[in-house]
Amino acid sequence: MAISFDLTGKRALVTGANTGIGQAIAVALAQAGADIALAGRSEPAETLALIAATGRKCIDLRADLSSIAPVEALVDGVVNALGGIDILVNNAGIIRRNDLADFTEDDWDAVVDTNLKTLFFLSQAAAKVMMAQGSGKIINIASLLSFQGGIRVPSYAAAKSGVAGLTKAMANELAPKGVQVNAIAPGYITTNNTAALQADETRNRQILERIPAGRWGKPEDIAGAAVFLASGAADYVTGHILAVDGGWLAR
């Protein structure tokens, strides 16, 4: 049988897809044939237009994922509009930078709630649908800070390390149900999330010196890995954290 990366007929929910990595992933999944539900707190006008150009169906569901309040309704909304959920991409995330001594409870809670707690409970809600279908793919957006400590971002490192552990925990339980759970760990990608780093001349130079590929990644660099993990080609891949980092971790 030919290996297939085709996603025709699949239904994907992508969080935080109005910009950056989430936008690139949503567009690539649509280009591979999937219908898309976008979930985020901001108007995803550009993403809607890019997906419309692929000819795939796209729905826009507004949700603030800083708490788990909207997750059940969000999954119900996707099932009602698209008939099910085959792919969930947990991409929405935030970062707070501060010295350890000045780090506040809000800097901690905001990042851990959005990046880890909501990721789990949205996955739980989607997994119930996927288990009933007997198939599904959950793709979590992790980070290099799922492996490393980073600088001045303790809640982000804790949350993304938690995402790596949770990916494996969910994969173990869902594998017998036909649902695969994996994560992508992007390297340094030019998005809003890294705007402060790109603007800091010293940090920008230090980062570039450390990347074997010699450049920052683009959001599109992450999209191919997402299409692979969403496709039948990855049916026997589960519990894996795939670094897409220009060689950063290899160094």
| Catalytic residue annotation | 156
C-alpha–C-alpha distance, residues 221 and 153, integer Å: 24
C-alpha–C-alpha distance, residues 123 and 244, integer Å: 22
**Which region, judged by CB under 6 A, interacts with ligand NAP, from 51-59, 61-69, 129-137, 174-182?**
61-69
Q: Indicate which single residue of 194, 226, 227, 229 sits in contact with ligand NAP (rule: CB under 6 A).
A: 194
Q: Indicate which single residue of 16, 77, 136, 246 sits in contact with ligand NAP (rule: CB under 6 A).
A: 16
Q: Is 246 in the site for ligand NAP (CB under 6 A)?
A: no
Residue pair 133/177 in contact (Cβ under 8 Å)? The answer is no
Choice between 21 and 125, CB closer to ligand NAP:
21
C-alpha–C-alpha distance, residues 219 and 240, integer Å: 20
Q: Indicate which single residue of 32, 58, 114, 166 sits in contact with ligand NAP (rule: CB under 6 A).
A: 114
Best CA proximity match to 155, nearest among 113, 190, 194: 113
Choice between 16 and 154, CB closer to ligand NAP:
16
Choice between 180 and 191, CB closer to ligand NAP:
191
Please provide the distance, in angstroms rounded to a whole number, between the alpha carbons at the two ends of the chain: 37
Please list, in sequence order, all residues whose beta carbon lies within 8 angstroms of the beta carbon of residue 173, skipping any fewer than 6 positions away.
none
Element (H or E) spanning 18, and its range? none
Total number of residues binding ligand NAP (CB under 6 A)? Answer: 26
Binding mask 64-93 toward ligand NAP (x if CB under 6 A, else -) reads xxx------------------------xxx
Residue 112: burial class (beta carbons within 10 Å; 0-12, 13-18, 19+): middle
Q: Is 21 in the site for ligand NAP (CB under 6 A)?
A: yes
Q: Indicate which single residue of 19, 31, 133, 198 sits in contact with ligand NAP (rule: CB under 6 A).
A: 19
Q: Indicate which single residue of 188, 221, 238, 246 sits in contact with ligand NAP (rule: CB under 6 A).
A: 188
Q: Indicate which single residue of 7, 12, 22, 231 sits in contact with ligand NAP (rule: CB under 6 A).
A: 22
Residue pair 123/131 in contact (Cβ under 8 Å)? The answer is no
Q: Is 127 in the site for ligand NAP (CB under 6 A)?
A: no
CA distances from 186 to 34, 60, 117, 225 (A): 22, 25, 20, 10
Q: Which residues contact ligand NAP (rule: CB under 6 A)?
A: 16, 18-22, 40-42, 64-66, 91-94, 114, 141, 143, 186, 188-189, 191-194
